[in-house]
Structure 1
Amino acid sequence: MKKNSSLLKDEKLKKGNAVVEGRNTVYEALRGPRKVKLVYIDRSISKNIRLKQISNLAKDKSVHIKLVDRNFLNKIGTQHQGVIAITSPYKYFSLSSLLNEIRNKNPVIVLLDGIKDPQNFGAILRTCQAFSVDGVVIPDRRSAKITSSVCRASSGACEHLRIARVVNLNKTVEKLKEKGFWVIGTSDRADISINQMEILCPLAIAMGSEQKGIGRLLLSNCDLVVKIKTSGKIPSLNVSVATGIILHEVMKKLKRI
């Protein structure tokens, strides 16, 4: 069966661009710095309050809106909630450009080592944005990237974060230390709990995967290694939950919340 010319144009538009799906995710993409080129809305539910908000915001930003059938959206994404946006690719920072953008007097950045699961990565980004973290650093390899699934898991928080990709986290820690950063690592084998930790700024917090934790060399490069005390039969925490607990403690000590 021959595809119509309209569908061919739409497929061509997707090439070299990114797909963002879901109501909160598309809404935040429109509010963020990323260029949104086109928004598809399911015509059968276009009167939905959230979809109307998206439509109004898109119009304010002069973004073209296209009402389509749900089947059309299903060919592009599986969790679209009736709306999909075609955007420019996500733009990562370099470490130097991220540091140059920071204006906070007591900056806090988060280093993620080996976080491969998109849901965990997205949840961590949502937590980082909630606590106004000044930047997130991930490695080029052995890490999830910013994808449609990660954007959705972060509820659009990735659109409002500075995220840098680096070749080597160990060398990044060395560079951060040269810039005066105090680096805290996390491990369930640490002797010091988070409520006892010393906070010096600028601060970098390293978080590792649930399976392997922070790499041995990276952990040895940290100025301080801390743990979260637990009392249950299962001592380990999901990495996104652990990140939230540590950031809450840090920001409370810094009087940023």
Structure 2
Amino acid sequence: MAGNSRRRGAVRKTSKKGPTVGSGGQRRRGLEGRGPTPKAAERRPSHPAARAARRAEKAADGRGGQGRGGSRKAAKGSTEIVAGRNSVLEALRTQVPGSTLYVASRIDSDDRVREAITLATERDIPVLETPRGELDRLTDGAVHQGLAMQVPPYDYLHPDDLLEVELPGLPLIVALDGITDPRNLGAIIRSAGAFGAHGVVVPERRSAGMTAAAWKTSAGAAARIPVALATNLTRALEGYRKAGFFVIGLDADGDVELPGLALADQPLVVVVGSEGKGLSRLVAETCDQIVSIPMSSVTESLNAGIAAGVSLYEIARQRAGLP
């Protein structure tokens, strides 16, 4: 019918290039496979497995798990940020090592800021002017008052390295078993330096590390007394015994009281346990003697740092032949 050719849709549309015959392989290429699905952690950044891998990598680098106190908690072998004018100034005065001193831009300077900058300059610590937003990020939101200092990772020795330390007197090593307070660690290092110890050994797990708090409490002794890191404390103690050392452990229920110690004139390793749990079972079984400090019945136990100081003093007194 002549009129039907005028209905909408009844006229065949043609392009300027003419009618297309076939797809020319375009549809075939569109249906081709794209290969195997890429591994989630490698090529798919938004996948949960990839995000978990990135978090694990940050934790391994010591960038995760930051506290909100005056200084960020740092695992062994990681950096630490000391924040706040008083904290930074005290750290610089007590010779805590620093890699960078951060000073906020347009800071309201006072005597503490000026002294901190002077001390850092004298010790060749770089002083970096930092925007407050960046300083907030570095300190993880701690109250920094415009001043912060980065403490580099401590360079631990191997326990066997303490056998080669050249210091006067009979060899004397202090080992810590379960000491988790860095201030106790610093106090023990200070006593070790005062009474002629050749080094301190800390376990890799469940133990305080050389943080800024430990450095400050040691009052500079940490710069002179080496600290070794033991993967397995019991194995390290057995190694010292094979090297000719006697191992004594401090415990309130010891078989020998400290004044009656007959091994003071021998190479010694003094093991200090935690104040609450004392020596662990394996460590106690490795000791040659368990020694107690005589005390009044009113006092049940001593702080670990004080117990170490008393014991090291008594050993030094006996070695010197004093009455």
Q: TM-score, normalised by structure 2?
A: 0.62
Q: Does 1:201 align with 2:266?
A: yes
Residues in 2 aligned to 1:83 and 1:130: alpha-carbon distance in whole angstroms: 33
SS of alignment partner, residue 240 of structure 1? helix
Mapping 1:13-52, distance limit 5 Å: 17-20=79-82, 22=87, 23-29=89-95, 36-40=98-102, 44=108, 46-48=110-112, 52=115
Mapping 1:178-197, distance limit 5 Å: 178-197=242-261
User: How far does the alpha carbon of each residue in 1:220-254 deviate from its partner, in whole angstroms, 9 at most, with x for none?
Assistant: 22222211111142321111111111111112222
Q: Does 1:60 align with 2:128?
A: no
Question: 1:110: Cα distance to partner?
Answer: 0.3
Alpha-carbon distance change, 200 to 76 in structure 1, aligned in 2, over 3 angstroms = same
Which structure has the highest strand share of the two? 1
Q: Is contact 2:92-2:119 (8 Å) kept?
A: no
Corresponding residue of 1:251: 316
Residues in 2 aligned to 1:81 and 1:114: alpha-carbon distance in whole angstroms: 35
Mapping 1:170-181, distance limit 5 Å: 170-181=234-245
Mapping 1:51-200, distance limit 5 Å: 52=115, 55-66=117-128, 72=135, 76=139, 84-198=148-262, 199-200=264-265
AA partner of residue 247 (structure 1): L
User: How far does the alpha carbon of each residue in 1:21-51 deviate from its partner, in whole angstroms, 9 at most, with x for none?
Assistant: 6334233446xxx5x3222468545534x96
Residues in 1 aligned to 2:154 and 2:181: alpha-carbon distance in whole angstroms: 18
AA partner of residue 267 (structure 2): P
Residues in 2 aligned to 1:145 and 1:180: alpha-carbon distance in whole angstroms: 27
Residues in 2 aligned to 1:184 and 1:215: alpha-carbon distance in whole angstroms: 13
Question: 1:151: Cα distance to partner?
Answer: 3.0
Question: 1:81: Cα distance to partner?
Answer: 9.1
Q: Is contact 2:203-2:231 (8 Å) kept?
A: yes
User: How far does the alpha carbon of each residue in 1:108-133 deviate from its partner, in whole angstroms, 9 at most, with x for none?
Assistant: 11010111233333332333233342
Q: Is contact 1:186-1:225 (8 Å) kept?
A: yes
SS of alignment partner, residue 189 of structure 2? helix
Corresponding residue of 1:218: 283
Question: 1:159: Cα distance to partner?
Answer: 3.6
Q: Is contact 1:51-1:83 (8 Å) kept?
A: no
AA partner of residue 25 (structure 1): A
What stretches of structure 2 of length at least 5 have no aligned partner? 1-61, 64-77
AA partner of residue 230 (structure 2): V
- What's the % identity of the aligned pairs? 30
For the pair shown, the structure with the greater C-alpha radius of gyration is 2
Question: 1:20: Cα distance to partner?
Answer: 4.3
Question: 1:176: Cα distance to partner?
Answer: 0.5
Moved more, 177-186 or 83-92: 83-92
Question: 1:157: Cα distance to partner?
Answer: 3.8
Alpha-carbon distance change, 73 to 120 in structure 1, aligned in 2, over 3 angstroms = farther
Residues in 1 aligned to 2:313 and 2:145: alpha-carbon distance in whole angstroms: 32
Corresponding residue of 1:7: none
Question: 1:69: Cα distance to partner?
Answer: 9.4
Which one scores higher on RCO, CA 8 angstroms, separation ≥ 6? 1
Residues in 2 aligned to 1:80 and 1:55: alpha-carbon distance in whole angstroms: 15
Q: Is contact 1:121-1:144 (8 Å) kept?
A: yes
Corresponding residue of 2:4: none
Alpha-carbon distance change, 179 to 66 in structure 1, aligned in 2, over 3 angstroms = same
Residues in 2 aligned to 1:126 and 1:82: alpha-carbon distance in whole angstroms: 31
Residues in 1 aligned to 2:266 and 2:166: alpha-carbon distance in whole angstroms: 13
Residues in 1 aligned to 2:277 and 2:223: alpha-carbon distance in whole angstroms: 28
